[in-house]
């Protein structure tokens, strides 16, 4: 895949195979660059003719034709530069689209335990690395590589016109390259430090914004602000170092360009005085000297910022290492599952140096049965749910849905057959109806039927626009928690699942919603497999059997001792 080609290629040029359309457009870009650089000779040569022939000969007609020809050359050069920019921009945009979509796909389809090894800020920074590579492989920086060989063209022209005078711009270019070599090491060190500090700051900001309500409730604004100031100060220092060393080629390049031009004027002036060079030749060499430094300056900037691309590739390589939930080529799980669940000697631990969350658990859940799990602090019941859904893979042992071992089948099509409702429900930016049908208009009728089953009609009728009331991620702050939980349950039921998992769902419900939930359980009995994780005795009493996890081991619970 394209992401693998970018991250596993040898050297920066190896990743060009992942740039869509690059090789098919390479000849066009090379031809355009050659034409642009050849046409740029028009002005120096025209200037030489004006000084050496036209002005001494007072030939006005020749001057008009020469100026017209040089103007056409300048116009063509501008058009070709614009066309080259459009082509390279299009190639870069396709690269960003292809790699960006594949990077997001890797994140969405990776195993949860892999994803949680890094913070959200780190993942966001890795995804932003796609934009860095876009500028590297398809932007103006890469165009500099096409112009570099033609620096020899300008230096060759100076050699033909003035001979040894060519060593003046060559010396300026050499000094400039040596200076950039020193700056490159400093830039790379500063850039690596910047990535580490920015990841740390982004993670903190995301945690801060996620827990903003708790922060305000506990009046912790001042402490968090001081911590953010320290992180921001460190990040600002790193950003300053990156800007200082990264901007060095542009600043020094202009200086060395001026040195090259002034050196040519000084040395060329002596040649004119001694009769070794004409005034027109000196004027042409002056322009050519400045022009010869420009491609080197651009490439030096490219070379200095190569560490940006190297870091971006390493960040994308971390995304590419994320293990998929199911290996490529795994067959899809058959559609006609009944909903039986079996654990055979399942052990699961998040890290080898930590205790097992599940220890040699064996469990049989019959299809269409209702099973309860007593929720306790750090009991591992949510982990058990994720194992049933296939979002986590057991450290050892086997898990079956009906007679199908989960890790041998693609769980991508389990959506709609296994539904999970968490303790804290989420809503998405859209209408209430959109949130139930998940933005599928063809499901609106079924969504309304399920909403009626959950007695949502009366609650929604109190809202300004009923089911067309718009909600977003912040709606949980002012909408009744019972309403949001019913929306999430309705969203799951629209899929007509064969297995449905309620993970502490009742904990955030009001009494009316809890009554509706009891009624729903009675309707679901014998229709699909229902797994309820709760510490509510009334809810657990409605199940066929109750288990609890204790130190990783699964134990049955006497339902008569639940306290109902």
Closest CA relative to residue 277, chosen from 362, 416, 103, 158: 158
Spatial distance between the Cα atoms of 388 and 404, rounded to a whole number of angstroms: 12
Rounded mean pLDDT, 538-558: 87
| Percent of the chain whose pLDDT exceeds 70 | 89
| Pair 399, 343: CB distance under 8 Å | yes
Mean pLDDT is lowest, of 179-183, 248-252, 318-322, 404-408, for 248-252
Q: What is the pLDDT of residue 2?
A: 67
pLDDT band at 15 (very low <50, low <70, confident <90, very high): low
Q: What is the 3-state secondary structure (H, E, C) of 241-290?
A: HHHHHHCHHHHHHHHHHHHHHHHHHHHHHHHHHCCCCCHHHHHHHHHHHH
Rounded mean pLDDT, 486-501: 92
Burial class (CB in 10 A: 0-12, 13-18, 19+), 463: middle
pLDDT band at 559 (very low <50, low <70, confident <90, very high): low
| Percent of the chain whose pLDDT exceeds 90 | 18
Looking only at the bridges linking them, the beta strands covering 529-534 and 370-374 are parallel
Which tokens in the block code for residue 133? 């590579």
Spatial distance between the Cα atoms of 495 and 420, rounded to a whole number of angstroms: 11
Closest CA relative to residue 199, chosen from 134, 124, 127: 124
Q: What is the pLDDT of residue 10?
A: 59
Helix (H) or strand (E) holding 421: strand 418-421
**Cα–Cα–Cα angle for 507, 512, 514, rounded to 5 degrees:** 35
Q: What is the pLDDT of residue 317?
A: 82
Higher pLDDT, 385 or 58: 385
DSSP state of 442: G
Which residue is it, tokens 């994140």?
107
Rounded mean pLDDT, 547-556: 87
Rounded mean pLDDT, 34-47: 83
Closest CA relative to residue 321, chosen from 96, 94, 121, 126: 126
Domains of the chain: 2-320 (1.20.1560.10), 341-561 (3.40.50.300)
Burial class (CB in 10 A: 0-12, 13-18, 19+), 503: buried
Rounded mean pLDDT, 451-458: 90
Rounded mean pLDDT, 86-98: 78
Among 186-190, 257-261, 413-417, 443-447, top mean pLDDT goes to 443-447
Rounded mean pLDDT, 437-460: 91
Q: What is the pLDDT of residue 208?
A: 79
- What rounded mean pLDDT belongs to the chain? 82
Spatial distance between the Cα atoms of 256 and 294, rounded to a whole number of angstroms: 10
Q: What is the pLDDT of residue 445?
A: 92
pLDDT band at 564 (very low <50, low <70, confident <90, very high): very low
| Pair 300, 145: CB distance under 8 Å | no
Rounded mean pLDDT, 500-516: 88
Q: What is the pLDDT of residue 214?
A: 66
Mean pLDDT is lowest, of 215-224, 276-285, 463-472, 548-557, for 215-224
Q: What is the pLDDT of residue 493?
A: 93
Among 32-41, 119-128, 158-167, 323-332, top mean pLDDT goes to 158-167
Rounded mean pLDDT, 387-413: 86
DSSP state of 527: T
Q: What is the pLDDT of residue 296?
A: 78
Which tokens in the block code for residue 335? 């559609």
pLDDT band at 345 (very low <50, low <70, confident <90, very high): very high
Is the torsion defined by CA of 403, 409, 411, 416 positive or negative?
negative
Burial class (CB in 10 A: 0-12, 13-18, 19+), 79: middle
């Amino acid at each position: 895949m394209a992401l693998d080609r970018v991250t596993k290629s040898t050297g920066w040029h190896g990743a060009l195979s992942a740039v869509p359309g690059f090789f098919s457009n390479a000849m066009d870009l090379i031809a355009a660059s050659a034409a642009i650089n050849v046409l740029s000779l028009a002005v120096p040569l025209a200037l030489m003719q004006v000084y050496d022939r036209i002005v001494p000969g007072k030939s006005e007609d020749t001057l008009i034709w020469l100026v017209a020809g040089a103007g056409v050359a300048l116009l063509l050069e501008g058009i070709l530069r614009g066309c080259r920019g459009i082509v390279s921009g299009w190639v870069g945009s396709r690269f960003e689209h292809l790699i960006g979509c594949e990077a997001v796909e890797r994140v969405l389809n990776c195993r949860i335990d892999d994803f949680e090894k890094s913070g959200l800020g780190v993942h966001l920074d890795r995804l932003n690395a796609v934009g860095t590579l876009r500028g590297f492989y398809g932007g103006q920086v890469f165009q500099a590589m096409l112009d570099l060989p033609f620096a020899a063209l300008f230096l060759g022209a100076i050699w033909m016109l003035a001979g040894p005078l060519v060593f003046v711009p060559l010396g300026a270019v050499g000094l400039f390259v040596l200076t950039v070599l020193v700056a490159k090491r400093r830039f790379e060190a500063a850039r690596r430090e910047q990535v580490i500090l920015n990841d740390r700051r982004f993670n903190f900001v995301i945690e801060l914004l996620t827990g903003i309500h708790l922060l305000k409730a506990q009046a912790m604004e001042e402490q968090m602000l001081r911590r953010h100031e320290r992180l921001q100060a460190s990040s600002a220092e790193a950003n300053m170092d990156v800007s200082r060393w990264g901007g060095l080629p542009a600043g020094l390049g202009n200086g060395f360009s001026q040195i090259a031009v002034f050196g040519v004027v000084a040395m060329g002036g002596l040649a004119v005085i001694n009769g070794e060079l004409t005034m027109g030749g000196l004027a042409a060499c002056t322009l050519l000297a400045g022009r010869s430094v420009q491609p080197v300056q651009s490439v030096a900037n490219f070379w200095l910022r190569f560490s940006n691309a190297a870091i971006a590739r390493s960040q994308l390589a971390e995304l590419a290492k994320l293990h998929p939930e199911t290996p490529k080529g795994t067959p899809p799980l058959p559609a006609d599952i009944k909903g039986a669940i079996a654990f055979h000697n399942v052990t699961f631990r998040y890290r080898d140096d930590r205790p097992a969350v599940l220890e040699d658990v064996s469990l049989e859940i019959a299809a269409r049965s209702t099973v309860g799990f007593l929720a306790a602090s750090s009991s591992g019941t949510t982990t058990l749910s994720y194992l049933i859904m296939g979002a986590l893979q057991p450290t050892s042992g086997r898990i079956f849905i009906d007679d199908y071992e989960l890790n041998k089948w693609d769980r991508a099509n389990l959506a709609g057959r296994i539904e999970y409702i968490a303790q804290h429900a989420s809503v998405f930016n859209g209408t209430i109806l959109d949130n139930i049908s998940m933005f599928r208009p063809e499901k609106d009728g079924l969504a309304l039927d399920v909403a009626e089953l959950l007695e949502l009609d009366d609650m929604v009728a109190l809202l300004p626009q009923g089911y067309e009331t718009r909600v977003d991620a912040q709606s949980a702050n002012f909408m009744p928690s019972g309403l949001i939980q019913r929306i999430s349950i309705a969203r799951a039921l629209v899929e007509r699942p064969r297995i449905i998992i309620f993970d502490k769902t009742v904990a955030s419900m009001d009494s009316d919603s809890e009554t509706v939930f009891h009624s729903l359980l009675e309707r679901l009995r014998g229709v699909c497999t229902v797994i309820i994780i709760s510490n509510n005795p009334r809810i657990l009493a409605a199940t066929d059997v109750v288990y609890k996890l204790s130190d990783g081991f699964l134990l049955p619970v006497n339902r008569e001792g639940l306290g109902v």
